[in-house]
Amino acid sequence: MRQTGQVPILRVAGVLLVAIQVDLGDTVATALQEDVLEAIARTGSTGLLIDVTGLEMVDSFVARVLVDTGRMARLMGTETVIVGLRPEVAGTLVRMGFDVSEVQAALDIDEGLERLGCKVVRRGAD
């Protein structure tokens, strides 16, 4: 799929998958938001999975970009799930007083896809 600066946006099982692997500068984060929205418009995907396993830090700016992207996606009819948030990042966000009530999160990509209504056959599961 399309490559934005440093963050690839893939389409997996009818869902858009964005894996953020690097510490995002503000401009890159904002650009990513635009690219994601464009990709939604282009593909008509009803699900958006943002994998933040690679993010060592989420400050109020990045958090806001993530939450806003989810809100904007919802307006376009797309549900967003964040996966792979690190324990220390989750702890930091709530400690800062960040309102996370709107954020949908899942443990990993498999569960994220499940949450978005995709059937995933888990190895080892019945």
Partner 1 sequence: MAPTEAAEAKVLTREALPVRSEDDVVLVRRRARELAQRRGFDGFAQAAITTATSEIVRNALVHGGGGEATLEELDRGGRAGVRLTCRDEGPGVLDLERALRGGFSVTGTLGLGLSGARRLVDEFEVRSAPGAGTTVVLTKWARR
Partner 2 sequence: MRPEDAIDRLQLDEREVRRRRDYFQVTDEDLARLASHRDLATRHNDEVIEALYQFILGHPESRAFFPDAATVARVKQLQRRYFLGLFQGRCDPAYAEDRVRVGATHETIRMPARLYMGAYAVYLELIRAMFERELEPAAARAAYASAQRLVAFDMALAMDTYVAAAEDTIVRHQAAVRELSTPVIRVFDRILLLPLVGTIDTARAQQVMETLLTRVAEEQARVVIIDISGVPVVDTKVAEHMIMTTNAVRLLGAKTVVAGISPVVAKTIVQLGISLTALETRGRLQDAITLALELTGRAPAGRQA
Q: Is 111 among the residues that bind partner 2 (CB under 8 A)? A: yes
- Of 19, 37, 105, 118, which one interacts with partner 2 (CB under 8 A)? 105
Q: Is 28 among the residues that bind partner 2 (CB under 8 A)? A: no
Instruction: Supply 46's token pair.
Output: 């009803």
| Residue count of the chain | 126
Q: Is 34 among the residues that bind partner 1 (CB under 8 A)? A: no
Choice between 39 and 109, CB closer to partner 2: 109
Distance (Å, whole) CA 50 – CA 82: 5
**Residues 6+ positions from 70 with CB-CB distance below 8 Å:** 48, 80, 82, 102, 103, 104
Query: What's the Cα-to-Cα distance from 107 to each of 21, 34, 49, 86, 104, rounded to whole Å?
Result: 17, 25, 12, 10, 11
Q: Is 56 among the residues that bind partner 2 (CB under 8 A)? A: no
The piece of 2-10, 36-44, 107-115, 116-124 that touches partner 2 (CB under 8 A) is 107-115
Q: x-or-dash pattern for partner 1, window 41-60, by CB under 8 A?
A: ---------------xxxxx
Choice between 22 and 107, CB closer to partner 1: 22
- Of 89, 103, 105, 118, which one interacts with partner 1 (CB under 8 A)? 89
Q: Is 101 among the residues that bind partner 1 (CB under 8 A)? A: no
Query: What's the Cα-to-Cα distance from 67 to each of 2, 30, 58, 79, 102, rounded to whole Å?
Result: 22, 12, 12, 12, 8
